[in-house]
Amino acid sequence: MILDLMTAIATPDPRDSAGTGKARRLFTGAPPKVLSIAGIDPSGGAGLLADIKTFTALGAYGCGVVAGLTAQSTQGVTAVQLPSAEFVGTQIDTLLADVAISAVKTGMLGQATNVQVVAEKLSKHGQDNLVLDPVMIAKSGDTLLTKEATGLLRDALIPLARVLTPNLPEAGALRDELGPETIKEMTRTCERLHKLLRQENNRWILLKGGHLPGGELIDLLYDGDRMIELRAERFDTRHTHGTGCALSAAITALIPQHKDIPSAVTHAHTWLQQAICRADELQISRTPQTGHGPVHHTHALCIA
């Protein structure tokens, strides 16, 4: 398990026989290298910047491929630009030719050609630990992927996923139907979505239930056999921007450090609840009463 940084700072290194007070090293040996392929949110609340913070907080070395650019703050998005699919592919080839990546996360891909090239490159390089966050529908309800790109995501990229992490509207869109509105419907949706993955062992759906009403959040983790409920308290905060990015990035960081997917996802789920609980501490926006700030990715590094 990753040590809390404050504990690490406060605990002398047992090898420090001279009593110089040097802090214990946070990591032993080289950390796992993980990759996010996503867009840039300049406010740092979501996308690639948030993923890198999450990777670091959970003991992984983060690498990134830029699939999109936004002009964005806690108040919203004002503009989007997308690099060419060729350049996205060149970034992936260049990085993976040199760095041994243990797990990959995809987030905002933005266009069909990006989806296609990411699928081709991950297959080419044999990347088998893919956490796919299908960034298709924003909290506002805005569509973030065209119908063509959604079709490619479903047909070319999702079959490569180790863990697929849709929210409820995205789960519906992937099946060309309305998203589930009850826990019972979520269960059936997990079963249907799992058919989009390779039908082999250790392929998982993590269906996020945050859009359902009520004071308790329930996510479902399903591998075609086991249906695992992950329950959490719903915190009273408006600062939940990038929650889905943070969860999928946390799972990506933890897969190489855990014995199996359920334990990695459970650890990531627990970490995220604290990141949400302490989000109000960040005070990112000049006008926090109107903005939607991020979760606190580095909460374990800060004294509450």
Residues serving a catalytic function are 208, 240, 242-245
Q: Where are the beta strands (DSSP E) in the chain?
A: 33-40, 61-73, 76-81, 103-106, 130-132, 163-164, 204-207, 216-222, 227-233
Cα torsion for 41, 45, 51, 53, to the nearest 10°? Answer: 120
Nearest C-alpha neighbor of 109 from the set 83, 91, 129: 83
Residue 254 CA, chain-centre distance (Å), reads 11
Nearest C-alpha neighbor of 204 from the set 169, 248, 170, 173: 248
Q: Give helix 112-124 / helix 85-96 axis angle, nearest 10°.
A: 20
> What gap in Å lies between CA 165 and CA 206, rounded to an integer?
5
